[in-house]
A and B are shown apart, each in its own frame.
Chain A
Amino acid sequence: MRSLQATFYRNRWLFSRRIVQCLIIAAFAIELPAGGYFAQGNLSSSVWFGIGLTDPYIWLQSLFAGAPLGKAALIGVVIVAGFYLLLGGRIYCSWVCPINLVTDLSYWLRQKLNIKSNYTLSKNLRVAILVLSLLLSLLSGTLAWETINPITLFQRELMWGSVAGATVLASIFLFDIFVTRRGWCSHICPVGAFYSELGRVGRLRIKATQAGACHGCAECIKVCPEPHVLAPVVSKKAAYVTHGDCTRCGACLDQCSTGALAMSLSFKKPSAFKGIPVVSSD
């Protein structure tokens, strides 16, 4: 019993995340007894209890392709973009995106099978793909990334019963296991790159609580999907993870045994960094 509790505690963020991700998939996929779904549409644009939400990146492609502005979509974009702008863009990656389930599984397997081979890709690649997708939308008048986007493909194809989606998922899965560590999400996906840019100043952040608490074991860095974001905190050069790449997955919080890290929401104006606060225990 004790150990079960401990296991749960050591994975509290992971479990919460999985629950949210699965609930979102279920809201779209499981038909209610009264007919209809909790959420209509898909992650491009959906309606939840009468409120429309629209993905800002897909909308941006549409805009570049030369579409007129639809009112409902515009309101949906403002709501979604506002949320991620305020809290942190890549919350989408860890808590909403269904592909994250696949790539996390890949990573877990990679660790279990102890696969070391890693084809190094630049982190700028995804930004290049992001720019390219907008450029191609402009040139071709269609939504360039949407012709291959595995996120919406997952919803369209798998949920509505076809194998084309499964093939794409399998390639991402295998790519992440055998080719590049965290290959898809950290190097290729322009959706992640977009949300990273959007949520640069997001105020839900990982925070270093007490100077003494962190031994510098760097266990958090080992589990972080975007390890570079934690480096300034562990080396005590910053009190917050401020990099837009942080997905707010909480893996670092689950891993840290000393409680040196916390998830914190603060809308206060960021003061100049004066070192990590020392809390004396009298």
Chain B
Amino acid sequence: MVDKTSVAAEIAEPERRKVFRKMFRQLGAATVITMFGKAVLDSSPARAASVLRPPGALPEPEFNAACIRCGLCVEACPYDILHLASWSDPAPTGTPYFVGRTDPCRMCPDIPCARACPTGALSPLLTDIKKADMGVAVLVGHETCLNYKGLTCSICVRVCPIIGEAISLKPIKNERGVLQIPTVDSSKCTGCGTCEKHCVLSEAAIRVLPRELGLGVEGAQSVGRW
């Protein structure tokens, strides 16, 4: 008499092996695709902000998660300064940003862009536009800035919407005499971009950058080297 169970087992075994093989193959494919996808997403530009966000934007990683790329802020801006990033822009696709040199934020007192945001990616808690933190102005062109050459251009100081607080002229003495240096108070500057917009040089000597890029971040590297 033939043992039925053993025959059944013999037939079943390769079947089961096939199923397992298929399962492993699918698992393998899923792992590879996940790793690949994550690499692609992580390599997308601006994991740390390299563009200026509208006022009230959460810190970049949270902003990236919270913003649903709807463009309501873009449409709410009466000066039409905001854009949603396309693939080639240095920000994750679909997120809003502006370029100070082309079109700075006019610091509307009622902050319509943040009011329009449905997700809180632009924080509803921001009620005073002077407390906005879109970035910070940094005078980078110490050799090109006209005030450093002894002239009194001072355009960047005169156009600042919070003149005298965010940016002011500080005298320094050198061999050419007394120079009036545009000096930014990083705790008051909102990063609106107006100063950069109006710098008379063909490439601005004062740049408005996201805070981490403009000021650096403390404590990221150990002090000294081994």
Q: In whole Å, how far is B127's beta carbon from the nearest beta carbon of chain A?
A: 16
Q: Mark A145-167, 1 if CB is under 8 A from B, else 0.
A: 01110001100110010101000
B119:A70 contact, CB within 8 angstroms: yes
B66:A140 contact, CB within 8 angstroms: no
The reply on A67 being an interface residue by CB < 8 A is: yes
A164:B86 contact, CB within 8 angstroms: yes
- Most interface-central of A66, A70, A135, A162 (chain B CB within 10 A): A70
Q: In whole Å, how far is A101's beta carbon from the nearest beta carbon of chain B?
A: 21
Name A's interface SS: mixed
B38:A66 contact, CB within 8 angstroms: no
A67:B65 contact, CB within 8 angstroms: yes
- Most interface-central of A47, A143, A144 (chain B CB within 10 A): A143
Tell me, in angstroms, the Cα distance from A59 to B86 when the chains sit together: 20
Tell me, in angstroms, the Cα distance from A205 to B71 when the chains sit together: 34
Q: In whole Å, how far is A246's beta carbon from the nearest beta carbon of chain B?
A: 28
A73:B65 contact, CB within 8 angstroms: no
Which residues of chain B from 41 to 68 have a CB within 8 Å of any chain A CB? Answer: 41-42, 44, 61-62, 64-68
The reply on A46 being an interface residue by CB < 8 A is: yes
The reply on B70 being an interface residue by CB < 8 A is: yes
A139:B70 contact, CB within 8 angstroms: no
If the complex has contacts A70-B120, A72-B119, A136-B34, are A45 and B66 also in contact, measured as CB distance less than 8 A?
Answer: no
If the complex has contacts A67-B62, A70-B118, A70-B120, are A42 and B37 also in contact, measured as CB distance less than 8 A?
Answer: no
B86:A44 contact, CB within 8 angstroms: no
The reply on B186 being an interface residue by CB < 8 A is: no
- Most interface-central of B38, B61, B84, B119 (chain A CB within 10 A): B119
* B88-96, B99-107, B154-162, B201-209 - interface stretch: B88-96
- Chain B neighbourhood of A142, CB < 8 A: 41, 44, 64-65, 92
B65:A40 contact, CB within 8 angstroms: no
The reply on A141 being an interface residue by CB < 8 A is: yes
- Chain B neighbourhood of A72, CB < 8 A: 117-119
Which residues of chain A from 75 to 110 have a CB within 8 Å of any chain B CB? Answer: 76
Interface residues on B, range: 20 to 34
Q: In whole Å, how far is A80's beta carbon from the nearest beta carbon of chain B?
A: 12
B41:A140 contact, CB within 8 angstroms: yes
- Chain B neighbourhood of A132, CB < 8 A: 30, 33-34, 37
Tell me, in angstroms, the Cα distance from A44 to B76 when the chains sit together: 16
- Chain A neighbourhood of B121, CB < 8 A: 67, 70
- Chain B neighbourhood of A143, CB < 8 A: 64-65, 68-69, 94
The reply on A37 being an interface residue by CB < 8 A is: yes
Tell me, in angstroms, the Cα distance from A143 to B65 when the chains sit together: 6
Tell me, in angstroms, the Cα distance from A36 to B67 when the chains sit together: 22
The reply on B153 being an interface residue by CB < 8 A is: no
The reply on A270 being an interface residue by CB < 8 A is: no
B68:A59 contact, CB within 8 angstroms: yes
B87:A164 contact, CB within 8 angstroms: yes
Q: Residue B120 contacts which of A41, A68, A140, A147 (CB distance < 8 angstroms)?
A: A68
By a beta-carbon cutoff of 8 Å, the part of chain A in contact with chain B is: 36-37, 40-42, 44-47, 52, 54-55, 58-59, 62, 65-73, 76, 128, 132, 135-136, 139-144, 146-148, 152-153, 156-157, 160, 162, 164
| Listed A/B pairs (25) with beta-carbon separation below 8 Å | A36-B75, A40-B76, A41-B71, A41-B75, A44-B94, A46-B72, A47-B72, A52-B118, A54-B70, A62-B66, A70-B117, A70-B121, A72-B117, A73-B118, A132-B34, A136-B34, A136-B38, A140-B41, A140-B42, A141-B64, A142-B44, A142-B92, A143-B69, A147-B41, A147-B92
Add 11 more A-B contacts to A41-B71, A136-B38, A153-B94 (CB < 8 A): A40-B75, A44-B71, A65-B66, A68-B120, A76-B118, A142-B64, A142-B92, A147-B41, A147-B44, A152-B94, A153-B93
